[in-house]
Amino acid sequence: MSRSFINLLLVLSTFLALGQSKPIDLHPKDSVEYKQSYGLRAGIDISRIITSSLDDNYKGLEFVADYRLTQNLYLAAELGSEEKTRQEDLYNFTTNGSYIKIGIDKNNYFNWYGERNMIYMGGRIAYSSFDNTLNNYQYFDTNRYWNPDDFATGSTEAEEFSGLSATWIEGVFGTKVELLSNIYVGASIRLGLILSQKEDERFPNLWVPGFNKVTWDSNFGVGYNFSISYFIPFYKKKNKAKKKTENSTEPQGPPPRPNEGL
């Protein structure tokens, strides 16, 4: 009986010695690593498709995409083509061309772990190449004796002005929300400023694909899009969330959703 008791004391003493040999960390750090998906989100602007089906004087198509670079920074681009016919007081013209926009979006929305929703601000540098066709025009005449009901006809023969272009910058504000798994709907408004353009001396650029209407006294333009896109994950990147301790003022990372794995 005494021998068994002595052996038990020896075993307990050994465990106590091993336990005391390891220092006790009074401020343990959270080593949980959260993985977030990085990849390409690509889609199409459905507002241009809807407008094309409702307006006989417009045809347009735009592809949209963004690629996640960091936690809140995205490389973004739009590529499209548009054709627009406009009737002004004295002339009718058609503009036809394509454009590309490249820039950065900064997400300002605080997502829960696993979310990729966005409320963002961004910028673009854009370029458009297009042609103008003057379909017909009339002469402005203050003397309406010979044409009391309308202005005199100048020409009904179409004249084309090709090799035109424009470069501009855009400020973008928008949102993208996950509607279904990896399927997002987005909307944005854009304020553009033309930096340079190539136009014909006989007929100015009054409408630029991707930019919208150009006025005589201003280089500013306003646009928008409404998109649907699909997220293609390429890899997952670890993001370590640190818990706030008594002596730390660092903000805590977003907690995982209930029943959601890493």
- Residue 161 is predicted with a pLDDT of 95
- Residue 185 is predicted with a pLDDT of 97
pLDDT, mean of residues 122-142: 86
Q: Which residue has the higher pLDDT, 33 or 191?
A: 191
Answer yes or no: is pLDDT of 167 > 80.
Answer: yes
Q: What is the average pLDDT value for the chain, to the nearest integer? A: 81
- Residue 191 is predicted with a pLDDT of 96
Give dist(CA 83, CA 45) in Å, integer. Answer: 15
- The DSSP line for 99-157 is EEEEEEEEE---PPTT---EEEEEEEEEEEEEEEEEEEEEE--S--SS-SSSPEEEE-S
Closest CA to 114 of 239, 27, 14, 209: 239
Give dist(CA 205, CA 163) in Å, integer. Answer: 12
Answer yes or no: is pLDDT of 16 > 90.
Answer: no
- Residue 12 is predicted with a pLDDT of 46
> Measured at the alpha carbon of residue 141, what is the angle toward residues 131 and 161, in degrees to the nearest 5?
10
Q: Quick one: pLDDT band at residue 118, thresholds 50, 70, 90?
A: very high
pTM of the predicted model, to two decimals?
A: 0.75
Q: Mind listing the pLDDT tens digit for each residue in 211-245? A: 999 887 788 999 999 999 999 999 988 765 555 54
Task: Look up tokens 């005449």; give the residue.
Answer: 141
Characterize 69-104 residue by residue with b for buried, 16 or more Cβ atoms within 10 angstroms of its Cβ, and e for exposed. Answer: eeeeebebbbebbbbbbeeeeebbbbbbbebebebb
From 56-65, 188-197, 236-245, the region with the lowest mean pLDDT: 236-245
